[in-house]
Chains A and B, each alone.
Chain A
Amino acid sequence: MSEPLVELRQLHKSFGDNHVLRGIDLSVAKGEVLCIIGPSGSGKSTLLRCVNLLEHPTGGQVFVAGVELTHRDCDIDKARRATGMVFQQFNLFSHLSVRDNVTISLRKVLKMKRAEANARADILLDRVGLGDKASAYPAQLSGGQQQRVAIARALAMEPSVMLFDEATSALDPELVGDVLGVMRELAEEGMTMLVVTHEMGFARNVADRVIFMDGGVIVEEGKPSQVINEPREERTKKFLANVLEN
């Protein structure tokens, strides 16, 4: 097997006295889609945010595409280009048009010419089904459209891993499908993805592997059919019973 694209070794994270991640070991292979499920407060977001060092781990190591982000000589700004992140609240830049949201990092970080960046943005916007919204501003879009722009924005830097933190949780139910559709296409094209989600259908159908987290540790992991349909651990069973009920 080739070297994993994302590797976490004995990852710990505390906020003051609150020990949120308690020794996480995890490898994600190239092209793998990993779904992370678990109850609120179990540390899913924190785990994801440690992968691109939006949170600094208090212990352990993070490797992405062969680079150790936790190394003290690591150029974090550069290393982050290997990851793209999609947030629950979209976090589009409200003062920029849709096209500029997608091109801003290309122009300001990679120093790409505007014309070249625009060309790349237009391809990406077409891909998420928003080619006709390039000159709109985020406030003029629905939540589902905003989230698809956010995905295009993250893809612009051509990351090798995409991180999704409850990308559909803030959306009206009828808009969830469009966003999940884009994510599914991305998965089918071979993108490596770490997806925190409450969408069990997506996890079951798209994920290669599911991990269930609780209390800052990985309680159970395996194929989606196994973890979701035949959980071994009591905590997993209880969580799934709750989620599937609603």
Chain B
Amino acid sequence: MNMSRRQRLQLVRGGIYALTIAALALLIISVDWGALGGALFKWDVVKKQFPDILTSALRNTIIFTIFGFIGGLSLGLLLAIMRLSKSKPYRWFAATYIEILRGVPLLVTLLILGFGIPIATGWSWPNPYLQGAVPLALVAGAYIAETVRAGIEAVPRGQMEAARSLGMSYTRAMVTVIIPQAFRIIVPPLTNEFVLLIKDTSLISVLGVTERTLDLARFGRNGVNDSANATPLVVAGLVYLALTIPLTQLAAWMERRSKVGRR
């Protein structure tokens, strides 16, 4: 056979396409769509999720996320500044904290802080929201610290020098000149951190939540138990997407815009 390299590649690619389409077609005809649809997206089950999924579950997810984010952002800022400090103990503390909390799975940290510490000390969380939100914030702080640090390091060195040359102290220059500019740089990655946090709140329910603090994921799971149907989880997934997709799109748009601006 007399084929050029390019022709051979085209033939192979065509073959792969054909096989993929055949496999998909097989899947489509072999699946009982009616039954699957009934199990995953049954209208009367969908309807039963409302309005509680919004007024209670979504609300709780948002509460956990916002608390985790505000706590995480404050902690992250503090850790980032410590990480960049001239003082070795501060740097060492921040680096260790960040390494440990990023290195342990969130689930494990949640269980240790939410369950382990109360069992070990006899102390109990004063509020079921705090039991989930505090560990979430402590972990988010470790991730956000690295984002903030990258932002601070991305501010040109001359900005600090100009601020110092005007008589500002290091702290004053950080607060009025460096951090505001760092935040402009990190708004897109921070938005992505926020999205991760929305999803991470789904783990909080391992701590055994009360009726009042049910989040979206647990609400969906309870719904599955009640209705013997997977629809509630699918609906919960869709509500997550309604939160996350606009935010990731916003972050991507901001990132594109800042790239154009810098050119």
Asked if B52 lies at the interface with its beta carbon under 8 angstroms from chain A, I say: no
Given A80-B167, A85-B161, 12 additional A-B pairs, CB 8 A: A54-B161, A54-B164, A80-B166, A81-B167, A89-B158, A91-B162, A93-B163, A93-B177, A104-B176, A109-B167, A156-B166, A157-B166
Asked if A72 lies at the interface with its beta carbon under 8 angstroms from chain B, I say: no
Selected contact of B165 from candidates A54, A78, A139, CB within 8 Å = A54
Chain B residue at smallest Cβ distance from A107:
B176
Interface pair A108/B161, CB less than 8 Å apart: no
Rounded to whole angstroms, the CA-CA distance of A84 and B169 in the bound complex is: 15
Interface pair B156/A91, CB less than 8 Å apart: yes
Q: Which chain B positions have C-beta within 8 A of A42?
A: none
Rounded to whole angstroms, the CA-CA distance of A153 and B167 in the bound complex is: 12
Interface pair A95/B162, CB less than 8 Å apart: no
Asked if A147 lies at the interface with its beta carbon under 8 angstroms from chain B, I say: no
Asked if A87 lies at the interface with its beta carbon under 8 angstroms from chain B, I say: yes
Asked if B248 lies at the interface with its beta carbon under 8 angstroms from chain A, I say: no
Asked if A124 lies at the interface with its beta carbon under 8 angstroms from chain B, I say: no
On whether A157 and B158 interact (CB within 8 A), knowing A95-B180, A104-B176, A109-B172, the answer reads: no
* Interface mask (B132-175 → A, CB under 8 Å = 1, otherwise 0): 00000000000000000000000010110111111111001000
Interface pair A105/B161, CB less than 8 Å apart: no
Asked if B88 lies at the interface with its beta carbon under 8 angstroms from chain A, I say: no
Interface pair A108/B176, CB less than 8 Å apart: yes
On whether A80 and B165 interact (CB within 8 A), knowing A91-B156, A95-B180, A109-B172, the answer reads: yes
User: Which 7 pairs from chain A and chain B are nearest by CB?
Assistant: A91-B158, A91-B162, A105-B166, A85-B165, A81-B167, A109-B167, A77-B169
Chain A residue at smallest Cβ distance from B162:
A91
Selected contact of A87 from candidates B158, B177, B180, B181, CB within 8 Å = B158
On whether A153 and B166 interact (CB within 8 A), knowing A94-B181, A108-B176, the answer reads: yes
Q: Which chain B positions have C-beta within 8 A of A92?
A: 162
Q: Which chain B positions have C-beta within 8 A of A87?
A: 158, 161-162
Q: Which chain A positions have C-beta within 8 A of B176?
A: 104, 108
Interface pair B156/A109, CB less than 8 Å apart: no
The interface residues of chain B, by DSSP majority, are classed as helix
Selected contact of B172 from candidates A85, A89, A108, CB within 8 Å = A108
Q: Which chain B positions have C-beta within 8 A of A54?
A: 161, 164-165
On whether A95 and B184 interact (CB within 8 A), knowing A77-B167, A109-B168, A157-B167, the answer reads: yes
Interfacial residues, chain A to chain B (CB-CB below 8 A) = 52, 54, 77-78, 80-81, 83-85, 87, 89, 91-95, 104-105, 108-109, 139, 150, 153-154, 156-157
Interface pair A91/B166, CB less than 8 Å apart: no
Chain B residue at smallest Cβ distance from A81:
B167
What is the CB-to-nearest-CB distance from B250 to chain A, in angstroms, rounded to a whole number?
A: 20
Selected contact of B168 from candidates A89, A105, A150, A153, CB within 8 Å = A105
On whether A83 and B165 interact (CB within 8 A), knowing A89-B158, A108-B176, the answer reads: yes
On whether A80 and B164 interact (CB within 8 A), knowing A93-B177, A95-B180, A95-B184, the answer reads: yes
Highest count of chain A CB atoms <10 Å: which of B164, B167, B169, B261: B167
Instruction: Kindly state the interface size class of chain B when it binds its partner.
Output: 10 to 19
On whether A91 and B161 interact (CB within 8 A), knowing A104-B176, A108-B176, the answer reads: yes
Rounded to whole angstroms, the CA-CA distance of A233 and B237 in the bound complex is: 80
On whether A95 and B181 interact (CB within 8 A), knowing A54-B164, A87-B162, the answer reads: yes
Chain B residue at smallest Cβ distance from A105:
B166
What is the CB-to-nearest-CB distance from A140 to chain B, in angstroms, rounded to a whole number?
A: 12
- Name 27 interchain pairs, CB-CB below 8 A, sorted by A: A54-B164, A54-B165, A78-B167, A80-B165, A81-B167, A83-B165, A84-B166, A85-B162, A85-B165, A87-B158, A87-B162, A89-B158, A91-B156, A91-B162, A94-B181, A95-B181, A104-B176, A104-B177, A105-B166, A105-B167, A108-B168, A109-B166, A109-B167, A109-B172, A153-B162, A153-B166, A156-B166
Rounded to whole angstroms, the CA-CA distance of A139 and B260 in the bound complex is: 13
Rounded to whole angstroms, the CA-CA distance of A92 and B166 in the bound complex is: 12
Q: Which chain B positions have C-beta within 8 A of A156?
A: 166
Q: Which chain A positions have C-beta within 8 A of B168?
A: 77, 105, 108-109
Selected contact of B159 from candidates A77, A78, A91, A139, CB within 8 Å = A91
Chain A residue at smallest Cβ distance from B183:
A95
Rounded to whole angstroms, the CA-CA distance of A85 and B166 in the bound complex is: 8
Q: Which chain A positions have C-beta within 8 A of B156?
A: 89, 91
Rounded to whole angstroms, the CA-CA distance of A139 and B258 in the bound complex is: 13
Interface pair A93/B167, CB less than 8 Å apart: no
Rounded to whole angstroms, the CA-CA distance of A157 and B165 in the bound complex is: 10
Chain A residue at smallest Cβ distance from B157:
A91
Q: Which chain A positions have C-beta within 8 A of B158?
A: 87, 89, 91
Within 215-250 of B, Cβ neighbours of A (below 8 Å) are at: none
What is the CB-to-nearest-CB distance from A88 to chain B, in angstroms, rounded to a whole number?
A: 9
